[in-house]
A and B are shown apart, each in its own frame.
Chain A
Amino acid sequence: MQRIPLTPREDWQQKVESAGLTFHTLENGDPYWDESAAYQFTATEIDTLEAAGKTLQQMCLAAAQHIIDEKRYAELDIPAEAIPAIEWAWNNEPPALYGRFDLSWAGAESGHAPKLLEYNADTPTSLLEAAVIQWRWLEEVGSHLPTHTSSRPEAGGRSGETPVSSSSAKPDQFNSIHEKLIAKWKDIDPFLSKPIYFAALDNPEDQLTVTYLRDTAEQAGLPTLQMYMEEIGWNDEQQAFLDPNEDHMFSIFKLYPWEAMLQEEFGPHAIDTYQSTRWIEPIWKMLLSNKGILPILWQLYPNHELLLPSFFEQPGAPCQAASSLTWGDSTPPNNLTSYVRKPLMSREGANITLVRDGVTIATTTGPYNGPQIDQALAPEAVFNERYPILGLWMIDQDCCGLGIRESSGPITDNLSSFVPHYFR
């Protein structure tokens, strides 16, 4: 795994825009879509990531079953009124579509396995960047990409080795997201009433993400309609969700988290009518998108190479503990000295506290409070002072793609950029 500096295409903004990515530049003027570098992997490293995604998916499903069997909902701060719908959905398996594991890794030569940071199982974005934009990028620039023979040259590894021109091995990309989405829609078609509604908030990122998903559903032969979350109507007499034309909505893809839906005015209606409405993602995904899944995974699979030690925060525990557990250690809980503290429901790097050797080195603000977890710091993965997070895309049970978000600090937030990848 190497970070390769590149010269962006001269008209990259126009190119990514015409493919669908209008939000290519951050408010501070920095590129969100950043093709001034790319990550190069070996085929073996891609195999490692693919296998990690499949393994983690199986572990997460087992963890969800465990939560349901042992009724551990309160630890995840899941409201009691949602439990019957969660259990019904888990047992009846209404259609589920996708999710994204976020992992930290510095490549095979680091000597470590990839480490799970969290599972965005309910409302993952950066999808069209991963599925479409980086694919188009590779198609255009792939034949000109340099080949580095050294590992991590920017990180001070075997320096002095210069890039050479493209070798005979054509660069490839871990990316069959598009085909897998179309295939999945075909797979779940018999279980969905038509049209399928796609609902999201009124902002470019969310709207274009659902437009892309809608695109894949249409290409699978399913009729679709798109609307804003606020436009979803509830009719008490009909006890039904209605679209702006007053038609019943039976199949709804919502790019909107269940924990927010349940707190809002229509939340009780979504629960009451859950069995007659096909919400994608299904409500049981709340169990996996919750940070509380991390300590439960660690309890079920202690010392698993893909996991970091994680624990529910002890009530009243200070943020700065006083012993010596880091990743891979097996000393008892509550002894972490280098860890990340995350609220169960936090999003986009908000309300994160990062502690190294007992000293808080970074904190972020945000609107989240409530129960938290502590997760040991992952082995360092820094390339040229940039911190990549590897997003592994799961289409149902299939690990089928990679998207990389990169930050200038150790906390990935809404100022991080998307950097393309390839492998040889």
Chain B
Amino acid sequence: MKRSTQVAAPLLAAAALALTTGCRKPEMQRCVDENNRVVADKFCASQPNQPQQRPDGHGGFIFIPMLYHYYYGGWGGFGLGSAVGGGSLTPNPARSYINSSGRTLRGGFGRSFSEGGSHFSGHAGGAGE
């Protein structure tokens, strides 16, 4: 048999429509240290949301630097110790975010073709060829 009788691909058509109408995937929310290296979420969860300050003993205050903060979007993965970049310290209210959900690590595949990866490149940034 050399030819098809019919070619129906409803999921494909629906996905194409979703792409052209701007549906977007959730971005990563990661806890990072002052060097923008990923650390466990518990470090951010145990910190206050705003920078803290304490009296300096001379009538003023000293800001206590936040060692850890959430990082929204950008490249890199969820791997502990891995670098992140291209994102923001504040969430974009128009986007949704996913975290590494406790003991399950995510982002351990896909980095080679991301902005921070350097080993591979594909058609239009893809991994197919």
Contacts and interface: CB of A to CB of B under 8 A. Distances in A.
Contacts of B98: 231, 244
The prevalent SS among residues of B at the interface is: loop
Interface in A202-217: 202-209, 211-212, 214-216
B104 A21 contact: no
A177 B110 CA distance: 28
Contacts of B122: 206, 347-348, 414
A321 B84 CA distance: 45
A256 B108 contact: no
Interface stretch (B13-21, B42-50, B63-71, B87-95): B13-21
Interface in A137-189: 172-179
A172 B3 contact: yes
Contacts of A348: 121-123, 129
A328 interface: no
Contact of B82 (A125, A202, A206, A265): A265
A20 B15 contact: yes
A121 to B, nearest CB: 10
A120 B129 contact: yes
Contacts, number: 199
B114 to A, nearest CB: 8
The majority secondary structure among interface residues of chain A is: mixed
Contact of B106 (A208, A216, A233, A257): A233
A350 B120 CA distance: 9
Residue of B3, B111, B128 most packed against chain A (CB within 10 A): B128
Contacts of A237: 103
B2 A18 contact: no
Nearest to B14: A211
A214 B13 CA distance: 12
Contacts of B120: 257, 260, 347, 367-368
B126 A173 contact: no
B13 A206 contact: no
Nearest to B77: A230
A176 B4 contact: yes
A174 B4 CA distance: 9
Contacts of B104: 233-235, 242, 246
Interface in A307-365: 347-348, 350
Contacts of B62: none
Contacts of A264: 108-112
Interface stretch (A55-63, A80-88, A128-136): A128-136
Nearest to A206: B126
A232 B106 CA distance: 6
Interface string B11-53: 1110111011000010010000000000000000000000000
Nearest to A365: B121
A90 interface: no
B109 A132 contact: no
Given A172-B2, A246-B101, A260-B112, A17 B127 contact: no
Interface of B: 1-5, 7-13, 15-17, 19-20, 25, 28, 77, 79, 82, 98, 100-101, 103-114, 118-129
Interface of A: 17-23, 46, 50, 120, 123-125, 128, 131-132, 135-136, 172-179, 199-209, 211-212, 214-216, 218-219, 228-237, 242, 244, 246, 254-257, 260-261, 263-266, 269, 347-348, 350, 366-368, 400, 414
14 contacts: A124-B129, A125-B123, A174-B2, A205-B124, A205-B126, A212-B11, A215-B10, A216-B9, A230-B106, A232-B109, A264-B109, A265-B77, A347-B121, A348-B121
Top-8 shortest CB links A-B? A125-B128, A266-B108, A20-B12, A229-B110, A265-B108, A233-B104, A414-B123, A260-B112
